[in-house]
Structure 1
């Protein structure tokens, strides 16, 4: 996974926006959708920024949206998906085998603690 990959999550919604151009974001032009990914740079670029990137780093191979399945998953998307729906301040890191449910530490404390002590079915993921 690229350490510098970016995405954004709208405040107050569950919508995860698409990949954001790192070059535009660095210039405080937030929100420009990325159309290319450079594996060598581990950066995302919009159509405008990829042209300059190509001129400066001609030996780099960029991957377009037609091959988006080869792009890394954005760290912010991973963080969003691992955040508990009920307890937004906690990450999901456990699975209750009895309830077949993903849990954060607060979920375990609130809803699964008796299961934990009586059956020991909580599995840390």
Structure 2
């Protein structure tokens, strides 16, 4: 099971999924470590013996793992306009907005 990070309208976002399982097997498997050199997440199935040239981080250093692109896209998605990206900030409302929100509510 993948690590869930955000729940919005009962949609669970899978954060750190094994890169190989996701791409080659179309399955979301919880990643156990991240390799900085490969720029990929790996599960227990694809455990490898890291060489000196590899920089890998286990779950004990999960705060050093970069945010997956899937999660980044989800965090930048407008709650009101699902297919719009948050691109602006309204200081009057202290709110992040997409271009449609600005057009409709933040003039």
CA RMSD of aligned residues (A): 2.1
Q: TM-score, normalised by structure 2?
A: 0.82
Match of 1:77 among 64, 67, 71: 71
**Cα distance, 1:88–1:29 mapped onto 2, change above 3 Å:** closer
The aligned residue for residue 11 of structure 2 is 14
Q: Answer whether contact 2:76 2:85 (CA < 8 A) is retained.
A: yes
Measure the CA separation in 1 of the matches of 2:84 and 2:26: 30
Q: TM-score, normalised by structure 1?
A: 0.71
Match of 1:58 among 36, 51, 63: 51
Unaligned runs of 5+ in 1: 1-6, 114-125
The structure carrying a bigger helix percent of its residues is 1
Measure the CA separation in 2 of the matches of 1:102 and 1:44: 30
Unaligned runs of 5+ in 2: none
Measure the CA separation in 2 of the matches of 1:43 and 1:28: 15
| Structure 1 position 29, deviation (Å) | 4.4
